[in-house]
Amino acid sequence: MFFDSWTGLARVLVVGTLAYAALVLLLRTSGKRTLAKLNAFDLVVTVALGSILATVLLTKSVALLEGILAIILLAGLQFGVAWLSVRSPRFDALVKSEPVLLLHQGRFLDRALRAQRVTRKDVLAALRGQGLARAEQAAAVVLETEGTLSVVPAERLPEAEPLPGVKRPPAS
């Protein structure tokens, strides 16, 4: 169906504007954590927020206040998870993954690469993105909790210095 009624179009305009304003207001008041780089939990919340907004916009049987309540509930749950994560290392480990070392002192850690489903090409691309031409020029490449690859150039990390929060590979 191409066109149902002018009332339906007006509802989408009014409800969409109000729902969008409520979502923006909630995201601004809930703090920067809500808009931080996405880990798996944040991605789920973001997708769910988008789904709620779309449902409120396009489903006549869902009232605007029900949608706003659902958005507030999700933001509140995310705030609760973030609050608990900061206060409980055990809970934080349950919700978030740990950074994983993929390259150490110029050597690829193939077991870690396989476990994380990252290819050597991915690591080399991250190195090039940081201006390094060869793996030997890197002290470390770490797969961060939100999925980005961090590169530490060799001259910035002496061999004996550990990376805080990242386990060193076992000695060969």
Angle at 98 between CA 166 and CA 87, to 5 degrees: 105
Angle at 34 between CA 117 and CA 98, to 5 degrees: 30
CA atoms within 13 A of residue 31's CA, in its CB half-sphere: 8
The answer to whether the beta carbons of residues 101 and 149 sit under 8 Å apart is no
- Mean per-residue pLDDT of the chain: 83
pLDDT at 163 over 90: no
Rounded to 10°, the helix 6-29/64-87 angle is: 20
pTM for this structure? 0.62
From CA 91, how far away is CA 126, in angstroms rounded?
A: 31
Q: Using pLDDT thresholds of 50, 70 and 90, give the confidence band for residue 172.
A: very low
Paired tokens of 145 = 């909790």
For range 31-49, the mean pLDDT: 69
pLDDT of 47-106, one tens digit each?
A: 888 899 899 888 888 888 998 899 889 888 888 888 898 999 998 888 777 889 999 989
